[in-house]
Structure 1
């Protein structure tokens, strides 16, 4: 059977896929664009899964649909099992082969999990994960979260907001200790405790069993109505590796046009390791990066010649605390803090050993990422505290 011929194929169903399809459509109005995604849903705005859908007026997934079906043909619930750049084909789980002219790989990441599957022990990343969890949570539901990072903290706030009884077990001394300086870590801890979330530091889970029950390294056990495993993410690199695409730092190497090492294969979103014009080669797993790289890849797939010169932002909300940030936030870097006690805002600069700016955290400080971005990759000025006035 001859392969189905598709000028544009996008593998993956997230925001990068949506932005790419729209960029292709803008440049090529008659384009035939096929999107293949394992999800039963089309692209949705995924940040809402751990934010707005829990605290806003709407809790249904449909409210976050990006409307991608208006610009592309969606093939949902379909897994792409193989990518062959030599023959320019992808193979679907049905066995069907699809020939492409240009292909975008935007498969993103999946939740990491180191434990056996157990009823009541859930992961959280996809629209399906949200629906499964939301259906099991109500006022008073006892939820145990394992992990102390980005998703763990957002979901602890979200679940507590809808009335769940939340306990967070994490291996470090403080939530988010790999990101922030001690003063902000204390503020975060106080906020969660005040909101009724129980925090258990220095907790190491060795096994998850029926119940669901956590068994800790010290022999203690805890049983809850639900266990949410927030253990980080793993990039979905399987297709890229099968295709022999050049990899770097666990991700797929791309140039400043989002082109991979294979002709006519582009990569966007979490999967892309790109040359940041300010900070050097890196990969970023946040929605702003997915949107921007998806749009640029799509434009170039349709004949554009755009280069990526943008350093993405990221943000988070934790109850009424929040931040925006650019660059690399890592507490192993030198951190210089400037706090405004009047409105509880702050700016934290992250400097490398050479005193160059690697990242800027804008804590309860909004609309300043453009200002902060221009200092990335440059020597830190002597007047850091005067550049971005917290709360201004």
Structure 2
């Protein structure tokens, strides 16, 4: 039996509980998770007192009708925060959500999974994956927000914040007042520069529904697809395009898939799986530029070695960066990026909070500052923040890092794949199983179990009833 510290003993139990909750709704993953090697040690210090500002002004003075709470952002965090406000009876007439998108908050991981399936393979579409269906909760459609008395402002991003006057200005010129402000702006996709073809027609990035719709339009006419990046986006998009029976090539500079998490042995097994689906890999090379045809549309990807791979559709999945926008003045973390917060997601300015992808928070279990780009953290940080804001709840956010991905789940696929990772990928690794269909990798540091990756090849593994695996830990 492998010895475990008490804090990490939760790894396998967390696998069971997370999986059980996810199976009741649409289980989704957030397009990019923070690379584990970008999590740095550090500390932050904020006053322990909980702040909640209240104000009284003329409703006619502000576009949000004198709402006390304002959430900026329309992703997972905003949706789960809204649900928590409702659960505490503090939403109706008090809460306003401001989003740059045209849709109510939704489970963003769907965009690189079921949303990309061909029409004959039952793709996901709104309103099917509005929050909070990802954890088995109520589907929060636009009508739900109306019924709950929550004001929604769509397609009007915030361009300025005045922390002294507690006001926000939107792109259309609306002036909003807040008592407490929650920043839930998430991340934006890292892009190729224009000078190397990053914005050519046929080149795609995925962060929202509009991006996914644009990609689907391309896939409907595509013959040759190139996916740039061997991380989450690359793996999920390549799996989805296989359902379209398209010529798909994945290019990345590393030696194997998911180098920040997968061991070479594990990556080899997944690469073989993708190759069985017809996906090709070009590894260990960089891209010089994207080439355009006579019509200006992307026609190929030129590599540093001088060779060119033909493509009529290119998907770039090379990471993301926190969307701090006008909130830089709130206080950024120079090591991991994002807005610095404490264990209750309070920034250094009273009354202002940051949650989800954009928050640089103290990761209690490992005593370091982290920024996690994953749907599980987006949900949990939102709930923790709002509870701290509205109640006497003063517990520090105690999060066990958790990442997962689901691929090849379209109708007719010979094998559906779902892997889960818990903890930290440090130390020596031990691999159990041969991916036929199950495999597990354990990270052990100084005799202590630090991380676990499980390939959920069977229901017994997913739900913790496979004795062969359970006895190991």
Shorter-normalised TM range: 0.7 to 0.9
Counterpart of 1:231 in structure 2 is 318
Cα offset for 1:387? 7.6
Note the alpha carbon deviations across 1:118-160, whole angstroms, 9 max, x for none. 1111111211111111122138631111111111011100111
Counterpart of 2:404 in structure 1 is 315
Cα offset for 1:242? 3.0
Q: Is the Cα–Cα contact under 8 Å of residues 110 and 124 in structure 2 kept in the other structure?
A: no
Structure 1 residue 220 and structure 2 residue 302: aligned? no
Which of 107, 114, 118 pairs up with 1:52?
114
Counterpart of 2:275 in structure 1 is 193
Residues 141 and 65 (structure 1 numbering): CA distance in 2 closer, same or farther, change over 3 Å?
farther
Cα offset for 1:290? 0.2
Q: Pairwise mapping of residues 282-321 of structure 1 onto structure 2 (< 5 A)? A: 282-307=370-395, 308-319=397-408, 320-321=416-417
Structure 1 runs not aligned, ≥5 long: 372-384
Counterpart of 2:255 in structure 1 is 173
Counterpart of 1:348 in structure 2 is 441
Matched residues, number = 374
Q: Is the Cα–Cα contact under 8 Å of residues 138 and 164 in structure 1 kept in the other structure?
A: no
Structure 1 residue 85 and structure 2 residue 163: aligned? yes
Residues 312 and 175 (structure 1 numbering): CA distance in 2 closer, same or farther, change over 3 Å?
closer
Counterpart of 2:98 in structure 1 is 36
Q: Pairwise mapping of residues 115-194 of structure 1 onto structure 2 (< 5 A)? A: 115-116=193-194, 117-138=199-220, 141-194=223-276
Which whole-Å CA distance do the structure 2 matches of 1:279 and 1:162 have between them?
Answer: 42
Q: Is the Cα–Cα contact under 8 Å of residues 121 and 228 in structure 1 kept in the other structure?
A: yes
Of the structure 1 ranges 72-81 and 313-322, higher mean CA displacement relative to structure 2 is found in 313-322
Note the alpha carbon deviations across 1:43-84, whole angstroms, 9 max, x for none. 111111112224562342332223253232221111101122
Which whole-Å CA distance do the structure 2 matches of 1:166 and 1:159 have between them?
Answer: 7
Structure 1 residue 360 and structure 2 residue 452: aligned? yes
Of the structure 1 ranges 165-174 and 69-78, higher mean CA displacement relative to structure 2 is found in 69-78
Which whole-Å CA distance do the structure 2 matches of 1:54 and 1:119 have between them?
Answer: 19
Which whole-Å CA distance do the structure 1 matches of 2:431 and 2:154 have between them?
Answer: 48
Note the alpha carbon deviations across 1:288-326, whole angstroms, 9 max, x for none. 000111112222333452532232422112333321112
TM-score (norm 1): 0.87
Which whole-Å CA distance do the structure 2 matches of 1:126 and 1:342 have between them?
Answer: 33
Which of 361, 366, 371 pairs up with 1:274?
361
Which of 325, 341, 344 pairs up with 1:254?
341
Which whole-Å CA distance do the structure 2 matches of 1:242 and 1:110 have between them?
Answer: 19
Which of 100, 111, 117 pairs up with 2:189?
111
Cα offset for 1:29? 5.0
Which whole-Å CA distance do the structure 2 matches of 1:193 and 1:342 have between them?
Answer: 15
Q: Is the Cα–Cα contact under 8 Å of residues 146 and 231 in structure 1 kept in the other structure?
A: yes
Counterpart of 1:382 in structure 2 is none
TM-score (norm 2): 0.73
Structure 2 runs not aligned, ≥5 long: 1-59, 132-139, 409-415
CA RMSD of aligned residues (A): 2.7
Residues 215 and 139 (structure 1 numbering): CA distance in 2 closer, same or farther, change over 3 Å?
closer
By relative contact order (CA 8 Å, sep 6+), the higher-ranking structure is 2
Residues 323 and 389 (structure 1 numbering): CA distance in 2 closer, same or farther, change over 3 Å?
farther
The secondary structure found in structure 1 opposite 2:249 is strand
If each structure's strand is expressed as a fraction of its own residues, which one has the higher value?
A: 1
Q: Is the Cα–Cα contact under 8 Å of residues 334 and 350 in structure 1 kept in the other structure?
A: yes
Moved >6 Å (runs of 4+): 365-371
Note the alpha carbon deviations across 1:300-357, whole angstroms, 9 max, x for none. 333452532232422112333321112234xxx32322313485423322345x5554
Residues 35 and 247 (structure 1 numbering): CA distance in 2 closer, same or farther, change over 3 Å?
farther
Which whole-Å CA distance do the structure 2 matches of 1:312 and 1:177 have between them?
Answer: 17
